[in-house]
Structure 1
């Protein structure tokens, strides 16, 4: 085929590819294959022609585009936890802060209700659980309940359960976040009552040192999961210039980001509960280091880091 005819036959298609109008992956792949065929033909019959260099340039452009997209895909997971989750937490900081207020409020209610009504502990946990805990306390192993079973299987079971519970609490927020916050209030009260069981026996400090090894991360994740439910459930109340449906879709998306972002936190909390809490009689220093590192992570990742990211984002757009 003469070069002129070859150009005339394919010019329109090349120009369309060069304009980059197609965004469909299958169509881009098809264009790339055809360009490779064209380039192979041109190199065979017109090796020194400008049309060969032109086709090579088009093929290279598509190839680089595909490579860059793949690179972006591989970094998407890292970007999710590095940027998406912290910025979403910052965006809904007031609701999440309110969730922590609900937690501390009902934790206090549970603690002082148990203090003034001795039967309340058994109403909450049942006689069997309370009797077993009191037996452990009397035998000098107050947190022996965390030493049951195999560490690995305990970790897996707790991790799966807590992840399911966090998504459940999130899903309950569909109606204005009411049921998410109700679940949070119930869980908070149980924690307050549980704490009082040991405080009443003079083991308040031991409770913190033992249970909070895993509880600090676990409770933070549960509180924020309920907060994510409230984010979803209140999203359509004040839609602004958007439709309520669009506002709700965005609320669901943001809530899901928060809950998924908490999965590694729940995994680590379950690991601590399965493998570390059972050794709560460890020396004080490693115990404090675990608590301090967990607290530092929570404060940095969910409070300080989102603020720094937002400030950086504002400075870029200023």
Structure 2
């Protein structure tokens, strides 16, 4: 999109926001919060495609004034990385929260299908992960240690290998959003079916709780991150399917930028899950039950808070601050 068209398309919205910020009249805080998020997105777009233009200067000044008014009792954050995780990602997640919901609904549905299918077809898991892995797990169950597979290599090699694999899975899941989100849904289907079938396999052999104690030490963050990456892929795909007032290519670029920021935000969680899988999961059988449950619940609570609760907190703070302007 040419800069002239970009300005013409968004000028009215910017003027409305400028008037809301500098005038005495009270505006609907929900509308102002939404306009602020759009302003940040427009600024990011302008910085990417018109880096030396006056529109970047204008939007940057407007965003800076707004930020200072919102956080007038706080010093402006200088660290770009902290701002990224503390404010930028939560706002993007809030604005696209419906895609987070869609991802979790599909994950739940597909996992249920996997478990249900495995209950009727013993060969399903073998088709997915191979005979070797299933036979090894059966032997581990017989030996009284269902998740002994996590002890088969040393900590560092296991952590690095697992983390690289999870990064690849998450990256592919996001990139497949280019197919309108359908490729992402298919990848999520494959991962969820495998999880459902695998958990039913342990249930069928009477070691479900033992598998939960082992797998979910790292799985809480790992699997949650995979679902969030699927949501990022859906956001990417929505840019292609639902351009709204933008051209399809510009909408796709915006969807890509928002989606990849969410994907990038999952990297620390994926890394930490790999470390847990490499160094902690191997001791799930020996560790006290209380510690086991604490690790699972604390990791699940942390990542759930960041993606499901914190975005609403950030949005509410902005809405409250804008309401008082």
RMSD: 1.7
TM-score when normalising by structure 1: 0.75
Q: What is residue 297 of structure 2 aligned with on the other side?
A: 292
The alignment of Structure 1 onto Structure 2 pairs a total of residues equal to: 250
3-state SS of the aligned residue for 2:145?
Answer: coil
Q: What secondary structure is seen at the aligned counterpart in 1 of 2:240?
A: coil
Report the counterpart of residue 222 of structure 1 in structure 2.
Answer: 226
On the 8 A contact 1:209/1:288 being kept in 2, the answer is: yes
CA contact (8 A) 2:146 2:211 kept: no
Counterpart in the other structure of 1:54: none
Q: CA deviation at 1:72?
A: 8.0
TM-score (norm 2): 0.74
- Answering whether residue 188 of structure 2 is matched by residue 205 of structure 1, we say no
Per-residue deviation, 1:84: 1.2
Question: Which residue of structure 1 aligns with residue 132 of structure 2?
Answer: 128
- 1:236-273 CA-to-partner distances (Å, cap 9, x unmatched) read 33223222222211111000100000000000100110
The CA distance in 1 between the partners of 2:255 and 2:288, in whole Å, is 45
- Distance in 2 (CA, whole Å) between partners of 1:133 and 1:219 is 20
Alignment of 1:102 onto 2:103: no
Aligned-partner SS, 1:236: helix
**8 Å Cα contact 1:155-1:270 kept in structure 2:** yes
Runs of 4 or more off by more than 3 Å in structure 1?
71-74
> CA offsets, 1:175-198, max 9 Å, x none?
111001100011000001110111
Measured in 2, the distance between the counterparts of 1:241 and 1:172 equals 24
Task: Tell me by how many angstroms 1:73 deviates.
Answer: 9.2
Measure, in 2, the Cα distance between the counterparts of 1:172 and 1:119.
28
Find the residue that maps to 1:312 and give its secondary structure: helix
Unaligned runs of 5+ in 1: 1-22, 25-70
Which residue of 2 is the match for residue 48 of structure 1? none
Q: State the match for 2:168 in structure 1.
A: 164
Give the Å deviation of 1:234: 1.2
In the aligned structure 2, how far is the partner of 1:153 from the partner of 1:125? 21
Encode CA deviations 1:43-67: one digit per residue, 9 max, x unaligned.
Answer: xxxxxxxxxxxxxxxxxxxxxxxxx
In structure 1, C-alpha distance between the alignment counterparts of 2:121 and 2:154, rounded to whole Å: 36
TM-fit CA distance, 1:212 = 0.4
Partners of 1:181 and 1:227 within 8 A in 2 = no
Say if 1:177 and 1:230, in contact at 8 Å, map to a contact too. Answer: yes
Matched with 2:26 is none
The answer for the alignment partner of 2:193 in structure 1 is: 189
Unaligned 5+ residue runs, structure 2?
1-50, 53-74
3-state DSSP class of the match of 1:240? Answer: coil
Higher-Rg member (1/2): 1
- Is 1:278 the counterpart of 2:289? The answer is no
Paired residues of 2:112 and 2:196 also in contact (CA < 8 A): yes
Larger relative contact order, structure 1 or 2 (CA cutoff 8 Å, min sep 6)? 2
